[in-house]
Amino acid sequence: MTPTAELLTSQEQLEYLGMETDTLKRVVVPIKLLNSTLDFKNTDIEYFKTLIEKSLSNHISPLDQCLCKLQLSFLDDSFDVLLEEDKPDIAIAVLHDTLMMKLFPPRNLYTEQKSLKLPVFEIEYVADNVPILMKKDSIIQSILQTKNMFEGEFLLELLNKAVRSQRNKIEKPFNSSSISEALELIERENCKVDNILMNTKAYSIIRHEISPETETYRNINSINFSPSGRMNKNRVYFMGESTILGVIAKTQFNVNIEIIEDKYNISCLLRIGSAILNRNIISIIEH
């Protein structure tokens, strides 16, 4: 805490975290449909809904792999974290008019709260006017791929805000030497490295060293994810243990399907909140 820091008021905190209203905010994500063959079988709509829910429940995105999972219900509009006695320094997913990642507390402000409520908001994956003859497996794969891309990008944005780039960012070619350097940046915190989130270029460089049975590199989970944003296309993220690094709080999906004039309108809704609680155990190679 700097001598000039001021106490963050309760109202300032609510506004900063996007929690100033009683109405839960929502991000609508269009489902990108894949090309598909036709399916002339008349699948029962409740059975189709169950298939989607089961597939979403079993799907594991990069976000699910790298952060500790906390189960929410649709009655939850926040989740709690316990802060250390010194000035907290965490990164939080916040939804105002748009989804953004913020450091908490804001610069030159501090909080005396030890138990902190963090924001929860809704994500709705939507596909309207889906031809009823589209193959059901293709629809489900479209939903899963859209979810995987959104949650992968979500994780990258949160990690990018959280990383201490002045000391945990390495600007070198991606190779065995720079990987060892990135690992050491986390291991000096007496924490083992759990996950490496790689772009496709980096993955191709060390593919021959990755175990095909376990998808691990040096016994570390290797995750291949191709981001859309230019900033992350040349970045590889190394992360400490998920139980220490941060939290992803989620409900189960609530799936709704309507049939209007031989077309499906599909909605997959969940509540979500997330935070990086230990910024010291992230490192980056920018190659």
Q: pLDDT tens digits for 45-70?
A: 999 999 999 999 999 999 999 999 99
Tell me the pLDDT of the chain averaged across its residues.
94
Please answer whether residues 159 and 245 qualify as being in contact, where contact means their C-beta atoms are separated by less than 8 angstroms: no
Looking at the chain, the whole-number percentage of residues with pLDDT higher than 90 is 85
Predicted pLDDT of residue 33 = 97
- Which domain, by its residues, includes 26? 6-165+243-280
Kindly state the average pLDDT of the residues 237-243: 97
Counting the structural domains of the chain, the total is: 1
Residue 175 placed within a domain = no
Predicted pLDDT of residue 166 = 84
Residue 217 placed within a domain = no
Q: Name the pLDDT band for 233 (thresholds 50, 70, 90).
A: confident
Residue 286 placed within a domain = no
Q: Name the pLDDT band for 187 (thresholds 50, 70, 90).
A: very high
Is the pLDDT at 2 greater than 60? The verdict is no
User: What radius of gyration do the chain's Cα atoms show?
Assistant: 21
Alpha-carbon distances, residue 263 vs 40, 106, 127, 268 (angstroms): 14, 47, 10, 16
Kindly state the average pLDDT of the residues 201-218: 95
Residue 237 placed within a domain = no
Predicted pLDDT of residue 138 = 96
Residue 176 placed within a domain = no
Residue 252 placed within a domain = yes
Residue 203 placed within a domain = no
Residue 126 placed within a domain = yes
Q: Name the pLDDT band for 141 (thresholds 50, 70, 90).
A: very high
Predicted pLDDT of residue 86 = 62
Kindly state the average pLDDT of the residues 172-179: 96
